[in-house]
Amino acid sequence: MDKLLITGGSRLNGEVFISGAKNAALPILCAGLLTSDDVHLTNLPLLNDVSTMEKLLSQMGLRMTSDKNAITLNGGQINRLEAPYDLVKTMRASILALGPLLARFGEAKVSLPGGCAIGARPVDQHIKGLQAMGAEITIEAGYIHAKAKKLKGARIVTDMITVTGTENLLMAATLAEGETILENAACEPEVVDLAVMLVAMGAKISGIGTSRLVIQGVANLHGAQHNIISDRVEAATFLCAVAATGGDVVLKNTRVDILDVAIDKLREAGALITAGIAGKDSLHIQMSARPAAVSFRTTEYPGFPTDMQAQFMALNCVAQGTSHVTETIFENRFMHVQELNRLGAAIEIEGHTALVRGMNKLIGAPVMATDLRASACLVIAGLAAQGETLIDRIYHLDRGYDRMEVKLSGLGANIQRVK
């Protein structure tokens, strides 16, 4: 199993290219199931979750040809309406096949994802929404089995804001009969990116980017071209790394407008951040002093993203002062705390809040990654720590980051993948 060996203490300098967003790419690949025409995607990130999704969709009969970060999908020969357990268990986002398959083919069988490291993460709202659209759903032998000759438009109010729930119902509604209204919809930029792509495919959606999506179902969708939005979580991860180690880095291929909260918090921590100087989609960060601690509370977009919580906590570990970090989205997303404490951090958890006392220094140690963003947090902590940090179980990192250690080495970090 691969590990990452980091010798901390180097400042980061140079330029780094930010990849396309994982959490936009996954639903957008599933949208390829909605049409028999070609769908061309660019800015596709090369990471393991994307490969797993490609495997799942090709098992269904979706044909694909790819060239580096571009892929063409064709759903003209879908012959298997099933997402099997062996793939769903490795990637929960497989649930995103449910809405498109059901809407286009009238049937779908998707393994029920189990719990996961960061929380229970049920999919009851996906099911509730599809039932409201007339689907008959049974759960048997660990599978969600959904059937509907033709989905019917409905007004759906989800109990909470759910990102993939909104995406699943949105995709289903594009081919339903009549009007669907999704209240309490997620407004995350990745949901917007999916909606933009669906509109390019001929879907009729209004309210994009708001919590009320109105969809007029159409009989068919057609092919389209789409450039996947830049990954704001990857961008924030690099920004936090620079803020923790000090340095001077330009991020390319970013979208500044979807990084507001992260940029504000990093400025509060003492970073100098300027947009657009090295080109329209660039972001320049300079950090010369020890960071100041920043408190925050995770919420849905446009609030502070849960997917950046762990990375900012790593920054707080080496910051001056004490911070409060409150996680409100997932009930168990503090698994990195014990590992950070192994590096000499001083973090106490009380309920949903972590109290982080910033330390003058962290000292490298062997640590274990527990989930994707926890892995990224340990990388940042390792870069800021003195001595060697060996991070085990980095398959979590590879699920969602495109060659992170290569990009960091390019910035002068002493980091290598070891077997």
Q: Which residues bind ligand EPU (CB under 6 A)?
A: 23, 26, 93, 119-126, 160, 162-165, 306-307, 329-330, 372-373, 400
Structure tokens at 10: 């180097």
Which lies closer to ligand EPU via its Cβ, residue 167 or residue 405? 167
Which lies closer to ligand EPU via its Cβ, residue 188 or residue 405? 188
Tell the smallest beta-carbon distance from residue 321 to ligand EPU (Å): 27
Tell the smallest beta-carbon distance from residue 122 to ligand EPU (Å): 4
Structure tokens at 70: 């571009």
Which lies closer to ligand EPU via its Cβ, residue 208 or residue 271? 208
Residue 317 is among the residues annotated as catalytic for this protein: no
Pick the closest to residue 238 from 266, 257, 258, 268 (CA basis): 266
Strands 70-74 and 107-111: unpaired
Residue 403 burial by CB count (10 A; 0-12/13-18/19+): exposed, middle or buried? middle
Q: DSSP class of residue 369?
A: -
The 155-157 sheet, strands edge to edge:
155-157, 179-183, 212-216, 204-206
Structure tokens at 337: 């705390």
Tell the smallest beta-carbon distance from residue 332 to ligand EPU (Å): 10
**Which listed residue (116, 187, 240, 377) is catalytic?**
116
Which lies closer to ligand EPU via its Cβ, residue 259 or residue 359? 259
Tell the smallest beta-carbon distance from residue 272 to ligand EPU (Å): 28
- DSSP readout, 340-355? HHHTT-EEEEETTEEE
How far the first Cα of the chain sits from its last, in Å, is 6
User: Residues near 178 by Cβ (< 8 Å), separated by ≥ 6?
Assistant: 152, 153, 216, 217
Which lies closer to ligand EPU via its Cβ, residue 121 or residue 284? 121
Tell the smallest beta-carbon distance from residue 27 to ligand EPU (Å): 7
Strands 388-392 and 3-7: antiparallel
Residue 351 burial by CB count (10 A; 0-12/13-18/19+): exposed, middle or buried? exposed
Which residues are known to be catalytic? Answer: 116
